[in-house]
Amino acid sequence: MTVEVLLMNRTAVAMAADSAVTITSDQPPYQISQTGVVKTFVLNGRTPSGMMIFSSAEFCGCPWSTVVDRMRADGLGGEPTLADTVSSFMARLNALCDSDLVEAGDGVMTFRIFAVQTIADFWRSADQIGEARPSLTPDQVLAEALDQLEHDVGSEAAWVDGDLSYVPRERIGTETPRLKAIVDDNLENIVGLALDAFFEGRVIGPDIRLRLAAAVRTGLMTSWMPSGARYTGVVISGFGADEVSPAYIELHVMGLIGDLLKYRIADAARVGRDNPVVVRSFAQNGAVDRFLYGADEEFTGEAFRRVAILTMGEIERLKTAAGKTGDADFWGEVDRAVMQSALLGLYSTRLSWREAIEASFDQKVRTASVGPLGDLAGQLLSLPLTESEMMGNMTVARPFSILRLSKAGAVLSHPTEPGR
């Protein structure tokens, strides 16, 4: 796992990432966290563009650092725009299907995971529809769940002329002979095994199976991903050779399935007159978001629970000291008044904190040059690092790295102290 932040104003970009990575395996199941992994990279010294990764630490069995080194050696960087850099990056990833960097058989495993997770989404949708509409027959539930899946893999919500509507999803490839061979050899068996597992042996008719298999094929060709897909978050930011303002593009890269690169563009932004500051956090970003936007509901609820326990303990002590333990009505009113005051205090503190922090931090980011901007990124990253150290969470760890990007160049540092 990881935690990362990105700060961007009209002249500079700073990206900061911790050095922990969590490696998981299904056969046999295990999870290992290790530190000291670099997850920020300068893409090319000719233009100030960089990259950081989160979630999965490997691409088709190969460490991302090795993948980036190969790309830099092949001339990645120096493109006119950051979008051109991302396009070049994706084309080079796709070309690795014929290289010695990716593991044989990894594409088949990636396809199996994709297909199983797609069927898992179908199963979860059927379960939710069945609970929400008990008057439907089992076959009607399956049909509605499949309609929903087909809609999701083929279309997405987007703003068109100021209105929110559904548009066709971006197509990311075509079914080549190599990809078709992988799908034909595995899909029918996976559909059968997954349906038996999720629906516990219930008989699912051939029409549903055929439509479900077709939805898997469609989903492969579009930017859609199942909710349980494993991917690497890739954030590429900085300047193209012909650009005077920075941008970033966030990708979710699942991997290669034959000669198809399965990915989606998750987010993108460029600074400008109407958007002078960008502050983003990724992965285990709860501490960062609480600092910037105030405590979330889960954090507030836990804080209130702890306040309630301490307050009720003190009330019980006062009851005993006053000899009023039997006056239930009186102490009930006290209990309610104290709890309401505690909740109101927490809520008011949350609002005032959010307003103060958002205003002051955005102003600092807006006016910072590239050096101080990197310091701010380090300070912001120190929040989840400190919290994780206090909680004994080894999936987020020091040392961390800071990548500073401006038109003057790119500087990657590994400070020993937060913000330095």
| pLDDT confidence of residue 12 | 97
Please check whether residue 182 is in contact with residue 111, taking contact to mean a CB–CB distance below 8 angstroms: yes
Helices in 164-255 by DSSP H: which ranges?
177-198, 206-221
Give me the residue label for tokens 């590239």.
Answer: 370
**32 beta partners:** 23
Q: What's the confidence (pLDDT) of residue 28? A: 43
Task: Name the CATH topology of 3-103+229-284+394-413.
Answer: Glutamine Phosphoribosylpyrophosphate, subunit 1, domain 1 (3.60.20)
- The two most distant CA atoms of the chain are separated, in Å, by 85
The answer to whether 17 and 2 are in contact (CB under 8 A) is yes
Nearest to 14 by CA among 401, 382, 293: 401
Q: Which residues pair with 255 in a beta bridge?
A: 262
Tokens of 325: 């333990």
**pLDDT at residue 285, as a whole number:** 78
Contacts for 415 with CB less than 8 Å, ≥ 6 apart: 378, 399, 400, 402
Q: Is 270 helix (H, G, I), strand (E, B) or coil?
A: strand
Residue 329: predicted pLDDT: 64
Q: Name residues of the chain where pLDDT drops below 50.
A: 27-34, 350-353, 418-420
User: What confidence score (pLDDT) does residue 160 get?
Assistant: 81
The single residue listed with the structure tokens 């056969």 is 27
What is residue 418's predicted lDDT score, i.e. its pLDDT? 46
Nearest to 385 by CA among 209, 109, 377: 377
Sheet containing 260-270, strands listed edge to edge, beginning at the edge strand earlier in sequence: 40-44, 49-55, 232-238, 247-257, 260-270
Q: What token pair was written down for 164?
A: 């929110």
**Amino acid at position 344, single letter:** L
**pLDDT (0 to 100) of residue 27:** 46
Assess whether the previous peptide bond of 399 is cis (omega < 30° from 0): yes
Counting runs of H as helices and runs of E as strands, what totals does the chain give? 10, 16
Cα dihedral 214/217/222/225 (nearest 10): 100
pLDDT at 359: 64
Contacts of 401 (CB under 8 A, 6+ apart): 16, 17, 19, 38, 39, 40, 412, 413, 414
Report how far residue 4's alpha carbon sits from residue 54's, in angstroms, rounded to the nearest whole number.
8
- Where exactly does CATH 3.60.20.10 map onto the chain? 3-103+229-284+394-413
Distance (Å, rounded) from C-alpha 251 to C-alpha 396? 21
